[in-house]
Amino acid sequence: MSLSSFIPPQRTLMGPGPSDVSARVLSALARPTIGHLDPLFVSMMDEVKALLQYAFQTKNEFTIALSAPGSAGMEACFVNLITPEDTVVVCRNGVFGARMIENVERIGAKCVIVDGTWGRAVDAQQLERKLQKHPEARFVAFVHAETSTGALSDAKALCEIAKAHNCLTIVDAVTSLGGVELAVDEWQIDAVYSGSQKCLSCVPGISPISFSEQAVEVIKNRKSPVPSWFLDQSLVMAYWSGEGKRAYHHTAPVNSLYALHEALLILKEEGLENSWARHKAQHQKLATGLANLGLEFIVPAAERLPQLNAVTIPKGIDDAKVRAYLLNEYNLEIGAGLGAFAGEAWRIGLMGHAARSENVALCLAALKDALAKFG
C-alpha cells in the first residue's frame, strides 16, 4: 500500500452539518499551536467565553466551549444536573429528543415523555398537561431546532411553562445557535448546549455550553459526584475560570479553539439579528425554488427551520443515487433522512457560511438536473 497525504475535495456542504467552513476560519485553524496554559491562549479563551455569551445572549458566568462534539454537550447537561432521584420531562419530536430520553434513562432518573409528531414543533399545551400530572418533575428538556425533521419549537413558550411549574430547563440549541433567535437569559434557559459545526460554520468537535446560576447551584449541591469524570463541570469550571491560576484538566483543542474564536468573531461582526435574517432570506429563496421543482416540505411553514429544509423524496426516486450524483457531479452534499425519515426525506442545510445565494442556486440547479436524470 502506498500512502500519501489526504487531500479532500472542495465540497459544498448543505446537509445537517458539518456546514461549509469559510477560508477565514480554516486559516485561523492553521496558525501555530501554542501551549494550552500559555497566558496568550488563556486570554483568547476569555474572549471565546465573551463571544459565546454574546451568541447565546446570556450573562451566565459559566459559559464555555466543551472540548467535544454536541452530543457531549447534551450528555454534560444531563449528567451534571440530573440524579437518579429526579423526574425529568423530555419532549420528543425527533431523533435528538429521543437521545435526551436515553441520557435520562442511563442516569437512572424517572423520564416522563411528551411524545410529539415528527416534523412538527413541540406542543406547548401537551407539555402543560404533562406537568400538571407530574408535580414531582424538576426538569424540562427539549430540542429547540430538531435537525432530524427541520422543525423549530417555541423555546420561549416552553420555558415559560416549565418555569411556571418550578422546573429547570435544558435546551438543545445545537442547530439553532446563530441561525434563529435564541435568548438564553430572557427565555430562562438553565442549561443549553450547541455545536461548532452547524450555524457557527466552524470545524466539528466543540460544544459551546452555558449554565444559569441556578443550574450551577444544583451542580454544587449534588450529594453524589457526577458519574462522568471528563464531563464533570465542577472540574471544568476550574480550567475555564480561576483568575490566572487555571488548573490543568485536559488539553484543550488549541487550534480548533482558534477556529471557534474566528467563527464567533465573524458572527459578532455580522450581528446576530443580521445572521438570523440572512438564514431566513436564503431559506425563502430555496423554498420557492424547491416548490418550483415540485418538492414538498415536511414541516408546516410556521414551524420550519430556515437552516434545515426537510423535503419528501418524490415517489420512484432513488434517494441514494440522487445524493451520490449530487456529490460526484456537483461536489454537493445534502443530508439523507434520519430515524423515521430514513429513505423518505432529504435534509438541505443552509447553515452559517453555507446560507448564501450561490449555494441556493447551485443546490436548485443540481437537484433539477438530478430529478430529470433519475425521475
Ligand X SMILES: *Cc1c(COP(=O)(O)O)cnc(C)c1O
**The amino acid at 336:** A
Please say which residue, 104 or 174, places its beta carbon nearer to ligand X: 174
**One character per residue 102-141, x = contact with ligand X (rule: CB under 6 A):** ----------------------------------------
C-alpha cell at 364: 436548485
Helix (H) or strand (E) holding 103: helix 95-107
DSSP-assigned letters across all residues of 149-210: TTEE--HHHHHHHHHHTT-EEEEE-TTTTTTS---TTTTT-SEEE--TTSTT---SS-EEEE
**One character per residue 228-267, x = contact with ligand X (rule: CB under 6 A):** ----------------------------------------
- Cβ of residue 77: shortest distance to ligand X, in angstroms? 11
- Cβ of residue 146: shortest distance to ligand X, in angstroms? 6
- Cβ of residue 195: shortest distance to ligand X, in angstroms? 4
Of 26-34, 169-177, 218-226, 353-361, the window that binds ligand X (rule: CB under 6 A) is 169-177
- State the residue number with the nearest CB to ligand X: 70
- Cβ of residue 147: shortest distance to ligand X, in angstroms? 3
Q: CA 62 to CA 273: how far, in whole Å? A: 24
Q: CA 145 to CA 192: how far, in whole Å? A: 12
Please say which residue, 204 or 227, places its beta carbon nearer to ligand X: 204
Among 174, 191, 218, 295, binds ligand X (CB under 6 A): 174
Please say which residue, 147 or 256, places its beta carbon nearer to ligand X: 147
Please say which residue, 175 or 309, places its beta carbon nearer to ligand X: 175
For residue 28, CA distances in Å to 34, 226, 254, 258 come to 13, 35, 11, 6
17 lines the binding site for ligand X (CB under 6 A): yes
* Residues 66 to 85 in contact with ligand X, rule: CB under 6 A: 69-71, 74
- Cβ of residue 154: shortest distance to ligand X, in angstroms? 16
Residue (of 309, 68, 28, 21) closest to 195 by Cα position: 68
Residue 340 CB burial class (10 angstroms; 0-12, 13-18, ≥19): middle
Please say which residue, 195 or 208, places its beta carbon nearer to ligand X: 195
C-alpha cell at 324: 451520490
Place of cell 447553515: 351
- Cβ of residue 209: shortest distance to ligand X, in angstroms? 12
* Residues 31 to 50 in contact with ligand X, rule: CB under 6 A: none
* 171 and 144 Cβ atoms separated by less than 8 Å: yes
Please say which residue, 74 or 170, places its beta carbon nearer to ligand X: 74
Q: CA 153 to CA 329: how far, in whole Å? A: 36
Q: CA 276 to CA 257: how far, in whole Å? A: 24
Beta-carbon contacts of residue 343 (< 8 Å; ≥ 6 apart): 313, 319, 336, 337
* Residues 184 to 223 in contact with ligand X, rule: CB under 6 A: 195, 204
Please say which residue, 174 or 322, places its beta carbon nearer to ligand X: 174
Among 128, 172, 232, 262, binds ligand X (CB under 6 A): 172
Residues that bind ligand X (CB under 6 A): 17, 69-71, 74, 96, 143, 147, 172, 174-175, 195, 204
